[in-house]
Amino acid sequence: MTTRRLFNRSDGRPDSIRRPFGVRLMAVTNSGALALLLSTTSVCAIAQQLASPALNTPQPGTQQTQPAPLPPPTPQEQKEQQNLPAVGPLSAAQARAAAEKVDTVLPDMPVPPAINAQQDPAPTVDSTEIQSTARSKSEPARDQVTGMRPNFLGFLGPYRRPHVPELFPGSGERLQPLVRDGKLYLSLHDALALVIENNLEVEVERYNLQLAETDIVRASGGGSTRGIDYNITESPQGIGGPGSPLLNSSQTSTNPIAPTIDDLTSLNSTTVTQNNLSQTGTQTYSAGANIPYFDPTLIAEAGYFRRSDIVTIGDTTGTGLSSTGGDGSTSAGSTPDSLHYITANIAYIEGFSTGTQIEGTVNNDSQVIYSSNSQNNPFSSPSTSVTITQPLLRGFGRGVNLRYLRIANLNRQVSHLLFRQQLIDTIYGTSRLYYDLVSLGENIAVKQEALRAARKLYDDDNDQVKQGTLAPIELTRAQALLTSSEFDLVQAQGLYRQQEVILRNEIIRPGAPAFHIAFSGIIPTDRITVPENPEELNVEQLEAAGLANRPDLAQAHLQVKSGEISVQGSRNNALTQLNVYANVQTRGSSEQNYEPLGSPAAAGTGAVTIPQNLALGGLRTATIYQAGVQVTLPLRNRIAQADAARDTIQLRQSAARTERLEDQIREEIENAVIALQTAQAAYNAAVASRGYQQQLLDAERDKLAFGQSTNLLVVQNEAYLAQARSTEIAARSNWMKARIALDRALGNLLEKNNISLDDAINGRAD
């Protein structure tokens, strides 16, 4: 019989003198890090094995049945194992050399930079991508609101009701060619394209862009802003979680025939979380001074008026009135109760950004009240009044009166930055879910291979038991391993199906009619590739790039600017109300009335106050010219002072939260770098561990073929190899998620996936 040489000897002793020596590399997962433990069998165990050859020697008269060899390894396995050293009974010097070789195979984890108390300040200029996003005025064409601004109809344009399109039902055009034979063959690019087109969280953020546009129109007319939505929704974590090992307790079981049960209901994480990026929290700034009527307003009133003159004591003749002619004149012979008039009262009000307000009124009140003749022409002898009022303290200046329009324009920039942030978080979550599905699929292949090996061991042991060369208890042990492997495969398949459901709901809308295409499963077509030579990472440069490229930080700075504008308005509201006015009246009746300027900012509706002289005229035909000063002086002014102080405090809070966000971004980037470096080292350790464990299993099988081992050791090594393979898959998955997490921390996931912001706003992904 020809036997291959299991071990290489270098000490000069013949191969017949065996010193069984076991080397076992166990992968221990702890927060994504792997430690390699090198252990040897004790001398007592070696002596006991040599002293009891009968345990492994066939009985006389029986023929030793050799177990059938496993199928040859695949070309990929041969490529992975061709450079691994042989394992066998080694001397102490050879054991030390093997340990040193392991150290050379596993490169040291790059040492992270020292933690310094003083770090470079944040860049004062945002990146080109952030500036382009903030300046963008793109709106989703399919969700665009129409009718808010005057169009070619001119005067009738402002009175059309705005039209908001119905919710986009989704599109299945991209999905249809991906389904083949009832399976969805999905690449990461296709998954991201489907998410951009159909994900509801992204669609909600598109409507946020429209909310910002409505605030601009509202503020242009003299109203206050109603605000935008600062909530960002993150994708569900899925089975693997954002940073936890893909495989949980089942991969670290020390007893190969006693599987650990994973509760699939607790592993299935489908809950989405929301992050509110508002720097003011639930607090709001005070309304501030009144806002001018930027939208000119025309107020008109017309009606029929009949007046009956009463005859006084001593007047026996009454009032001889005449009937009204066609030209408005009267003729004699009318009764005292026949005075008829058409009344008309018209007012025009408009405010300007400097605070100036113009108010003009026209009416025929003097004629209606005092004339002794009926009149159907309301403008034959009208009374007119024109007033110009200019505030000098409260409500003065463009900076104060245009504050809501400036805030609305800043909110438009914020809305685009929030959309970019939502897109980054959605891409990050979808990529994580996709690569977890890839790893879960690879884990199923590992479990299938372990089940195949367990079934092969059971068949071999069954043949030996039938021939009487193996104790029946060994068959029971092999059967226990077989059922345990079957259980592990069932659990792995359950995890994969759960992940399929989560990923499916992320990329499409299962209940929408557009996605009527049926498929029974998702097959990811991309694979995770870990580079052999990791790139050099300079933490300081990465932090500078991340601070300049993070949309959440950029929008936080814009919120601080909005707060500064609001504080300017509240501080102005604490000033005295001091106005100068000039008024001209024909057929005037009284002095200029003291009327408030603009509309209250607290209401924010731009409602116009009706002029007090709308329907007021004088007895005489004299013209009145008047000018003066109007003063409102609160003697305590505590409310306005408290509002100004509170708004300033809230502004300081926003600035502090923004600075804290900068520190969190630095921390996030630095931890992401450490996580990536750790994941790289962990993956290298897992690959080496799996390779050595494969050699140990091959050696144990060969020893069993010569009666120098037991089924228990083979079973244990089978389980250890399956665990090592699962650990390698988990390490590879963790590396990919660490790489994506770093890109997310740097804010460049869109560029890494070649996604255009304008295309994403319009629901396109090329």
What tokens appear for 388 in the block? Answer: 């110009």
**Looking at residue 330, what is its pLDDT?**
47
Confidence of residue 158 (pLDDT cuts 50, 70, 90): confident
**Looking at residue 245, what is its pLDDT?**
39
Read off the pLDDT of each residue in 332-342 and give the average, rounded to a whole number.
64
Which residues, listed in sequence order, are joined to residue 693 by a DSSP beta bridge? none
**Looking at residue 478, what is its pLDDT?**
86
**Looking at residue 83, what is its pLDDT?**
44
Neighbours of 164 (CB within 10 A): 13
What single letter denotes the amino acid at residue 114?
A: A
**Looking at residue 545, what is its pLDDT?**
93
Confidence of residue 271 (pLDDT cuts 50, 70, 90): confident
**Looking at residue 594, what is its pLDDT?**
83
Confidence of residue 103 (pLDDT cuts 50, 70, 90): low
**Does residue 670 have a pLDDT over 90?**
yes
Residue % of the chain over a pLDDT of 70 = 75
**Looking at residue 715, what is its pLDDT?**
80
Q: Quote the CA–CA distance of 311 and 317 in Å, as a whole number.
A: 9
**Looking at residue 337, what is its pLDDT?**
62
Read off the pLDDT of each residue in 339-343 and give the average, rounded to a whole number.
86
Angle at 317 between CA 315 and CA 321, to 5 degrees: 115
Let me know: does 558 contact 698? Beta carbons within 8 Å.
no
Read off the pLDDT of each residue in 372-394 and give the average, rounded to a whole number.
88
Least confident of 16-30, 299-313, 445-459: 16-30
Q: Quote the CA–CA distance of 380 and 366 in Å, as a whole number.
A: 11
Read off the pLDDT of each residue in 52-64 and give the average, rounded to a whole number.
39
Angle at 69 between CA 64 and CA 75, to 5 degrees: 165
Q: Looking up tokens 């359950």, which residue turns up?
A: 494
**Looking at residue 457, what is its pLDDT?**
85
Q: Quote the CA–CA distance of 700 and 717 in Å, as a whole number.
A: 8
Helix segments in 64-122, DSSP class H = 75-81, 92-105
What's phi and psi for 375, nearest 5 deg?
-155, 125
Half-sphere exposure of 247 (CA within 13 A, CB side): 34
**Looking at residue 395, what is its pLDDT?**
93
Q: Quote the CA–CA distance of 78 and 621 in Å, as a whole number.
A: 112
**Looking at residue 101, what is its pLDDT?**
52
**Does residue 650 have a pLDDT over 90?**
yes
Helices 711-746 and 638-705 meet at what angle, rounded to 10? 150
487 Cβ contact partners less than 8 Å away, ≥ 6 residues apart: 259
Least confident of 70-79, 243-252, 738-747: 243-252
**Looking at residue 97, what is its pLDDT?**
57
* Residue closest to 575 by CA, chosen among 357, 398, 392, 405: 392
**Does residue 149 have a pLDDT over 80?**
no
Element (H, E) at 734: helix 711-746
What single letter denotes the amino acid at residue 535?
A: E
**Does residue 204 have a pLDDT over 70?**
yes
Least confident of 178-182, 185-189, 539-543, 589-593: 589-593
**Looking at residue 21, what is its pLDDT?**
35
Helix segments in 518-634, DSSP class H = 539-549, 551-573
Read off the pLDDT of each residue in 170-179 and give the average, rounded to a whole number.
89
**Between 144 and 322, the higher pLDDT residue:** 144
pTM of the model: 0.79
Could you tell me how many residues make up the chain? 766
**Looking at residue 282, what is its pLDDT?**
84
**Looking at residue 150, what is its pLDDT?**
63
**Looking at residue 114, what is its pLDDT?**
60
**Looking at residue 573, what is its pLDDT?**
93
Least confident of 297-311, 555-569, 614-628: 614-628
